[in-house]
Amino acid sequence: MAEIPDSHPRKASLMARQKMVDAASIGLLAESAMIAHGRGEAYDYLLGERTIESASLAISEAAARLSEAQNPVISVNGNTVVLAGDDLIRLAAIVGCPIEVNLYYRTDERIGGLLSLLDSQRESVASGGPPEGWSGNWRERVLSVPLLGSEPDGSISGLAGPRSLCCKDGIERADVILVPLEDGDRCEALISLGKQVLVVDLNPLSRTARNATVTIVDEVSRAAAELVNSALDPSRSTEWDNEQCLREALSVISDAGSLI
């Protein structure tokens, strides 16, 4: 793709699109991935393509809950790995948790392809410098992040067929799960198993957004970068009101006319 000048107002969006196109062309994404991405873009436009205040609070809350969890896990799909894999590896290293590739439309080829992309992202994150505020052996810590998903030996009860497959050491035993861009059905199933489900979803009205324990209404790559910062210095609110958080996102959208 031709170089996009830094001054282009749609640069971040165009670059994200190109990442999606490139990933699709090597078979890393399900056919519906572009539709999901387009729906996300539309909401992001209405939010002003920035991290709104209520999303920043949700990010702090999610980072703190991950840090306090007994068995945290980060569950990723294709769009998430392609757009935010690097920062989610940083987050997993800081929190000390595995990353599980878990797909709605599961195929062994895509799981394998995404695990190898994550493996190369892990290598490059390990070779880069630690985030500011981190002390300790960064490289060793990053390389110790388990990448799960190739051999699902557990299940999410309440779901039928391949969608129920997961890993025992990942989603099955997790008490807190960060699952960006989850589907509504699976979010509900995970909640009814008593897990805390932390999601990133630009659509504050999706079933996922409404059912989750903590909903970060933000674009996944922006949210992942902020989650890294928050996990380095976690602080949790005493009471989390997720409905209020969704209402604030909706009110930003309904005030979008003020952007004109």
Q: Where do contacts with ligand ATP occur on this chain (CB under 6 A)?
A: 36-37, 39-40, 43, 79, 83, 181, 183-184, 200-203, 206-208, 219-220
| Shortest Cβ 187–ligand ATP spacing (Å) | 6
Residue 106: other Cβ atoms inside 10 A: 17
Which amino acid does the sequence have at 117? L
CB-nearer residue toward ligand ATP: 48 or 184: 184
Rounded Cα distance, 260 and 249, in Å: 18
Q: How far is the CB of 183 from Mg ion (least distance, A)?
A: 4
User: CB 207 → ligand ATP: shortest distance, Å?
Assistant: 3
Residues that bind Mg ion (CB under 5 A): 183-184
Q: Which of ligand ATP, Mg ion, none does residue 220 bind to, with CB < 5 to 8 Å depending on kind?
A: ligand ATP
Tally Cβ neighbours within 10 Å of residue 123: 14
For residue 122, the partner it binds in Mg ion, ligand ATP, none, with Cβ less than 5 to 8 A by kind, is none
201 binds, among ligand ATP, Mg ion, none (CB under 5 to 8 A by kind): ligand ATP
CB of 185 to Mg ion, least distance (A): 7
Shortest spacing between CB 32 and ligand ATP, in angstroms? 7
Q: Which does 202 bind (CB under 5 to 8 A by kind): Mg ion, ligand ATP, none?
A: ligand ATP
Q: If contact means CB under 5 to 8 A according to the sort of partner, which of Mg ion, ligand ATP, none does residue 236 touch? A: none
213 vs 209: CA distance, rounded Å: 9
Give Cα separations from 183 to 175, 210, 251 (angstroms).
19, 11, 24
Min dist. Cβ of residue 184 to Mg ion (A): 5
Whichever of 28 and 126 has its CB closer to ligand ATP, that residue is 28
Query: Which residue, 48 or 184, has its beta carbon nearer to Mg ion?
Result: 184
Minimum CB distance to ligand ATP smaller for 19 or for 141: 19
Partner interacting with residue 81 (select from ligand ATP, Mg ion, none; CB below 5-8 Å by kind)? none
In sequence order, the β-bridge partners of residue 216 are 200
